[in-house]
């Protein structure tokens, strides 16, 4: 169930450090577990990514650690701002509206919840955050560290697949038998999403406010439309997902716990 209908749910605040991002995400996850809210699936995955980014900063994995922390915080706040606005029944971006509406339906599987969150956050928010962090500077200076984010995301793929296999005992068998799933997932691979986000970041870098606003609104509508591929991927994939949904193990809270470990 969505926290939008639960006025007692705790509210996140805007973060200024990566530690605050982690703390706020943990609070959202706790609320999601208590409320049996599937929005916690994406947040649990996002928490993993954020912790990995923090480790990378501490280990000097990035060329510019302080700049990467700033990017991480600006990036996270775009999600947190829309999350809070949704709790208050306020207007959010069309891309996040699609993601926040999904938990009201029974049939979407965990993977769909993860992908629709990634769709909004990577395809819309990441490029905006990159352009914002590099405002007044040459955005190409960020490219190396921007690409390193993909290394971190890719490192989590195997772990996430293992988590999902625990939630869906039949997942591995279905993936081997049905190639349609690969067709469904290809547009949402982390590498393709990252490349699209970088292209978008360059297209809006250092644009005047009125132009920037129009470009972001156009991008938001495009990303929101892409969400339909996730929510309604066609008869064959929907049938497969129906089988998976019926075989998912555990409550919403139990699934969130598996994803966040």
**Which ranges in the chain belong to alpha helices (H)?**
18-35, 39-58, 65-87, 94-101, 110-120, 127-133, 143-167, 171-177, 180-186, 190-204, 209-231, 235-247, 252-260
Average pLDDT along the chain: 84
Q: What is the pLDDT of residue 155?
A: 66
107, pLDDT greater than 90:
no
Q: What is the pLDDT of residue 168?
A: 62
Residues whose CB is less than 8 angstroms from the CB of residue 34 and which lie 6 or more positions away in sequence, other chains included:
253
pLDDT tens digits along 122-160: 899 999 999 999 999 999 999 999 988 877 776 665 566
Mean predicted confidence (pLDDT) in 66-94 = 95
Distance CA 30, CA 12 (A): 12
pLDDT tens digits along 179-199: 545 544 544 555 667 788 999
Residues whose CB is less than 8 angstroms from the CB of residue 65 and which lie 6 or more positions away in sequence, other chains included:
57, 58
Report the 10 Å Cβ neighbour count for 225. 12
Overall pTM > 0.75: yes
Q: What is the pLDDT of residue 14?
A: 84
């Amino acid at each position: 169930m969505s926290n939008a209908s639960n006025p007692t749910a705790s509210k996140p605040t805007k973060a200024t450090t990566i530690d605050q991002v982690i703390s706020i995400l943990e609070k959202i996850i706790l609320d999601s577990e208590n409320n049996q809210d599937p929005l916690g699936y994406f947040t649990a995955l996002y928490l993993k990514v954020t912790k990995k980014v923090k480790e990378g900063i501490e280990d000097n994995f990035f060329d510019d650690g302080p700049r990467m922390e700033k990017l991480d915080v600006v990036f996270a706040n775009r999600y947190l701002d829309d999350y809070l606005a949704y709790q208050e029944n306020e207007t959010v971006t069309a891309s996040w509206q699609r993601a926040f509406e999904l938990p009201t339906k029974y049939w979407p599987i965990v993977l769909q919840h993860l992908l629709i969150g990634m769709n909004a956050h990577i395809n819309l928010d990441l490029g905006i955050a990159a352009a914002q962090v590099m405002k007044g500077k040459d955005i190409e200076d960020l490219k190396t560290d921007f690409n390193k984010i993909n290394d971190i995301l890719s490192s989590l793929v195997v772990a996430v697949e293992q988590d999902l296999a625990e939630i869906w005992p039949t997942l591995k068998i279905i993936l081997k038998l049905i190639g349609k799933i690969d067709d469904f997932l290809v547009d949402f691979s982390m590498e393709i999403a990252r490349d699209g986000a970088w292209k978008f970041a360059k297209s809006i870098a250092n644009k005047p406010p009125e132009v920037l606003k129009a470009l972001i609104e156009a991008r938001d509508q495009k990303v929101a439309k892409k969400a339909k591929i996730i929510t309604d991927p066609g008869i064959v994939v929907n049938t497969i997902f129906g089988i998976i949904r019926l075989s998912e193990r555990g409550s919403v809270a139990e699934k969130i716990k598996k994803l966040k470990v």
